[in-house]
Amino acid sequence: MSRLLLFSTFAAMAMAFGCLQTKHEIEVKPIHITMDVNVKVQQELQNKFKTADEESKSISDKEAEEALNKYLESQKSK
Read off the pLDDT of residues 50-71 as tens digits, 9 standing for 90 and up. Answer: 877 777 777 777 888 888 899 9
Three-state secondary structure of the chain:
CHHHHHHHHHHHHHHHHHCCCCCCCCCCCCCCHHHHHHHHHHHHHHHHHHHHHHHHHHCCHHHHHHHHHHHHHHHHCC
Q: How high is the pLDDT of residue 78?
A: 65
Confidence of residue 24 (pLDDT cuts 50, 70, 90): confident
pLDDT greater than 70 at residue 23: yes
Q: What's the pLDDT at 2?
A: 83
Q: Is the pLDDT of residue 36 over 70?
A: no
Give the pLDDT of residue 33: 66
The pTM assigned to this predicted structure is 0.28
